[in-house]
Amino acid sequence: NFSLLYRLSLDNYDQRNTRFINKGGPRQPDGELTTVNTTNFLTDQILNLVYNFRLSPDLTVDGILGVNLRAETQRVTVANSEQQFVYNLFNHQNFIQHNNFSFLTEERTNGVYLTGTFGYKDFLYLNLQGRNDWTSTLEQDNRSVFYPSASLSFVASDAIPSITNSNMVNLLKFRFGYGTSAGYPDPYRTRSVLGSETNSFVTANGVVLNTNTVDNFLGNPDLEHELIEEFEFGLEGRFFQGRFGVDLSLYNKQSTDLIVDLPLDPATGFLATAVNAADVVNRGIELALDLAVPIPGPVRWDARWNFTRNISEVNSILEGIERVQIDAAAFIEGAETQGTLGDVGAYAIPGEQYGVFFGEQLLKDDQGRFIVDQEGSYQIGSDFAVIGDPNPDYQMNLFNTFSWKGLSLGFQFQYVKGGDIYSSTAAALLARGNSTDSDIDRNLPRILPNAVKGDGTENDIQVYIGDEAFNSFFNGEGFVFDGTVLRLRQASLSYAMPQGILENTPFGAMNITLSGENLWFNAPNTPEGLNFDPEISSTGVGNSRGFDFRTAPTARRYGVVLSLTF
């Protein structure tokens, strides 16, 4: 009735980044070389005691009692050198001034958990779970977190045999679930960090000065974990001898005490601190349909379609605060802007979806036409406002697989509706005329379209496009584009070697697969001449989405996989 499982997982990666600029250019006249070496090492240990009992002919119980130990260490070493000596030679010895630093980040999470599943006559199942974690990223009084879960599933097709008598219904299952989980802050958010630097200054007498500095981030010792609670209803069915299937999930997820960085007045001596600042609710639907398409002949056609829609809403934030910034538009070239863009970013604002863009807004009349000033330029409002929403309206995927003997051809189309992207790349290319969308004579005067003057009459003021292109695009709202996109996400062609050929070989199976990813896309609401893919992101994994700050474009991927079993 018992079994014991121990598993040790090791995950290690090393990354080297190099940034180099020759001397003589306008951005860094003396030249620069920066190398960043990152090593990340993760260990994950699991010890499970698995049990399984039949308490009676109708009642069974099984589950797991386990321990989980997780440790992650990251070491980063940065070498920055300036004032290049020999042109086009990039090693640190060829630079005169050096600034090197390194840091170490360690994180530990220990957990214990217990699960139990009670089954009644193989058609009714009750699952109970509980887990307690201790994290090193919170102070001792707050680091213990317990979160329970429960689910109930009812297999109607097994409980009521008459349902399957017609051969129309093969499986009908209902499920109800309640689950909780926790989120933890990054390391070193609860304590103010002391910086240490040697050789910071050299006095006129040759005395070397070493310094300690207080970090700009204020540690918050009262920081607590995030808590996520979710209710879910699901339905799963198989019909017509398994040729048609449906899988439906409806959920309501409540996230409380979300951790965000709260900007502080510089007069406090700090620029930001981490706080439990937002409560967010997510409601959504996930629907999947699959069909074995009935076609004559030896070819088999399997199709699967899924649909997801999620609507989030910020219920509340810190009392006395109108909005909390989640991420900022950090990469903005000041010389190109016609105003300040430093506060543009993703925000949590009560009543709005989580992560909406908040920034400068172009003035419009009641009909949505832009209002120009006396010089014919679009007017920028004095107040910031919501200028975009990066959350998609919905997403759909269509999978098709055609099989004939040992050959199999598969492909996946993906459609994402909506979801704005704040793109510095698109704005810069359009403003500079580096796109066929702005392929006009920039020496000729132009009247800005879809605009009226302050008195409401049609705009007839001529402007110089070289200036107005930057006025039009280099403001908060001018960076925002609709991210709707249709994509051929993946395609593959595989061949399974017939068993007759493998009989006298040591192989049990042999398969070869040719595959490609991101092979084609069409983003109809972005400028056509840019061939811009709105899927890119400059902020990586985190709480914000939809930011592009001159990010490298997405790439196609091709691969060959040879699979052998013995």
CA–CA dist 454, 403 (Å, integer): 65
CA dihedral 186, 217, 105, 95 (to 10 degrees): 140
pLDDT, one tens digit per residue, over 423-457 is 888 888 888 888 888 777 777 888 888 889 988 89
pLDDT at 499: 83
CA–CA dist 250, 393 (Å, integer): 16
Amino acid at 487: R
pLDDT, one tens digit per residue, over 92-109 is 999 999 988 888 999 999
Query: 3-class SS at 162?
Result: helix
Q: Highest mean pLDDT: which of 18-27, 393-402, 497-506?
A: 393-402
CA–CA dist 305, 295 (Å, integer): 18
pLDDT at 502: 83
pLDDT, one tens digit per residue, over 525-538 is 998 888 899 998 88
**Mean pLDDT for the chain overall:** 89
Element (H, E) at 472: helix 465-473
DSSP string, 509-561: EEEEEEEEEEEEEE-TTS-GGGT--TT--SS-SSS---EESSPPPP--EEEEE
- Per-residue pLDDT, averaged over 472-485, amounts to 82
pLDDT at 307: 98
CA dihedral 482, 486, 488, 489 (to 10 degrees): 50
Percent of the chain beyond pLDDT 90?
Answer: 61
- Which string of b and e fits 476-488 if b means at least 16 CB within 10 Å? bbbbbbbbbbebb
The strand pairing partners of 289, in sequence order, are 246, 305
Q: Highest mean pLDDT: which of 1-5, 196-200, 543-547?
A: 1-5
pLDDT, one tens digit per residue, over 140-150 is 999 999 999 99
CA–CA dist 42, 107 (Å, integer): 10
Residue 330 clears pLDDT 70, i.e. is over it: no
First to last CA, the chain: 31
Residue 329: band (very low, low, confident or very high) from pLDDT cuts 50, 70, 90 = low
- Selection from 472, 353, 483, 496 nearest residue 419 by Cα: 483
User: What number of residues does the chain have?
Assistant: 566
pLDDT at 542: 65
- Which string of b and e fits 185-209 if b means at least 16 CB within 10 Å? bebbbbebeeeeeeeeeeeeeeeee
| Helices 424-432, 465-473: crossing angle, 10 deg rounding | 170
Helix and strand numbers (H, E) in the chain are 4, 30
Residue 206 clears pLDDT 60, i.e. is over it: yes
pLDDT, one tens digit per residue, over 283-321 is 999 999 999 998 888 999 999 999 999 999 999 988 888
Residue 562: band (very low, low, confident or very high) from pLDDT cuts 50, 70, 90 = very high
CA–CA dist 382, 364 (Å, integer): 13
pLDDT at 472: 66
Instruction: Identify the residue with better confidence: 539 or 258.
Output: 258
Q: Can you give the pTM of this predicted structure?
A: 0.82
pLDDT at 331: 38
